Structure 1
Amino acid sequence: MSEVSKIQLREEEVDLEALAKPHSRGCLRSFRALRLYLTADLHRYHAGRFHFWRHFLFTPGYKYTFWMRLSGYLKTGRITRLTLYPIAKFILLHCRYKYGIAIPEYTEIDPGLFINRFGGIYMHGHTKIGHDVTLSAMTMIGQTNRGKRAGTPTIGNRVFMGVGAKVIGKVTVGDDSAIGVSALVTRDVPPNSVVAGIPAKVISEEGSEGYVNRTVPAELLAACYAANGRALP
């Protein structure tokens, strides 16, 4: 039986009505998916699964990612949403104020998130983030409310965001791109590009190679998507 079929058989354990709501769209649907996604995230920190406790206790970026994904998972269960979710959410909010990272638990973030430095990081909850994305301190991914680009960004796979980088509005940042220090992105970024400046402009076609390191292995990546009922992009 395929992983997708197993997820479908367990739908009775998940509050599907909650998943359909905007504030639940990015939440993981099964404990297996949660475990695999956290393993993929941990891999980006140059660590194996046996180094979990070191990074959970002493690495702010991974600690926040752990509570973010766990809160999202607990939010989807009929029982856990009323019992364990409030506790996990409280800890997540504590981490938000302590480390200066504000990423809602319902944000659609694929495996392999790496928060390189903490402080001043903000992400709108309707943002879509690909796999193996690297965030630096003071990065912001936000929404615009008017104009032809009203909406939130879509960030591709293996994207690097430098310190202070900003992506605003309904724009798409292509796969394997790098956003320079303090750049302001207000238009689509082609794949394999390096952008810099205000507003950001393409300055190179070298992409994020060398800046996005230790990406999630293909086998683990495929298992993550299968466990979450999705096809590998």
Structure 2
Amino acid sequence: MIRFGKGGHSLRELPWIKGKLYVNKSGTIRIGKRVRFVGKPWATQLTVETGAVLEIGDNTFINAGVGIAARHRVTIGANVKIGPRTSILDSTYHQLDVNDDPGSSKPIVIRNNVWIGTRCTILPGVTIGENSVVAAGSIVNKDVPKNVLVAGIPAKIIRELEIPEGWIRQ
């Protein structure tokens, strides 16, 4: 099932798609109002397995080549910007040895007003706090507090950001 917004919305509030968007869906996808997908020059892909949930909040922008895979749950807030060729995966989808659980997954939560740069990787179990920025090329393997810039492999806090109350990146 794919749901758009909370009902009673105009055509202007429906998702906007430019280029290719591949959707591999057995679970549930909920897409907020005015969500924009770019699938050009690289296709964007959403994969949601049986019983999993992918939620994308209002006014979110998902750029070309982004891959989002939910084996359990991926929640993306409102006013989020996701740069090209970023991967958001709530599961490793494989075992490294016989002792690993092949089905393990941990939910990902990306709060409101987050900006994720080009070629980032968001790993299972991560929460990114509101108003935070993930610099290009970063690999996020642990929680990010609100109002910070993180960068690197693995991502570390570079500095705190001054975000006035009610300020929204557009």
- Give the TM-score range, shorter chain: 0.5 to 0.7
Q: What is the aligned-residue identity percentage?
A: 24
Structure 1 counterpart of 2:46, from 103, 122, 130: 103
Quick one: distance in 1 between partners of 2:131 and 2:86? 17
In 1, Cα distance between equivalents of 2:157 and 2:151? 7
Name the one with the larger helix percent: 1
Q: Which has the higher strand share?
A: 2
For the pair shown, the structure with the greater C-alpha radius of gyration is: 1
Which letter does structure 2 place at the counterpart of 1:110? G
Aligned equivalents of 1:131 and 1:163: distance in 2?
19
Q: 2-side partners of 1:64 and 1:32: how far apart?
A: 24
In structure 2, do the counterparts of structure 1 residues 169 and 132 end up closer, same or farther at CA, with 3 Å as the change threshold?
same
Matches within 5 A, 1:87-166: 99-104=42-47, 107-115=54-62, 117-119=63-65, 121-125=66-70, 126-144=73-91, 150-166=105-121
CA displacement 1:8-32 (0-9 Å, x = unmatched): xxxxxxxxxxxxxxxx4x7347642
AA aligned to 2:169 is N
Unaligned runs of 5+ residues in structure 1 are: 1-23, 42-54, 74-94, 215-233
Query: Secondary structure, in 3 states, of the residue corresponding to 2:3?
Result: coil
Structure ranking higher on relative contact order (CA contacts 8 Å, 6+ apart): 1
Give the superposition deviation at 1:208.
7.8
TM-score (normalizing by structure 2)? 0.66
Runs ≥4 residues deviating over 4 A: 95-98
Equivalent positions of 1:1-233 (< 5 A) are: 24=1, 27-28=3-4, 31-33=7-9, 35=10, 39=13, 59-60=18-19, 64=21, 99-104=42-47, 107-115=54-62, 117-119=63-65, 121-125=66-70, 126-144=73-91, 150-206=105-161, 213-214=169-170
Could you tell me whether the CA contact under 8 Å between 2:150 and 2:158 is conserved in 1? yes
Taking structure 1 as reference, are residues 198 and 64 closer, same or farther at Cα in structure 2, changes over 3 Å only? same
Partner-residue secondary structure (3-state), 1:32: coil
Distance 2:162 2:107 in 1: 22
TM-score normalised over the length of structure 1:
0.50
Q: Residue in 2 aligned with 1:86?
A: none
Unpaired runs of 5+ residues, structure 2, are 31-37, 93-99
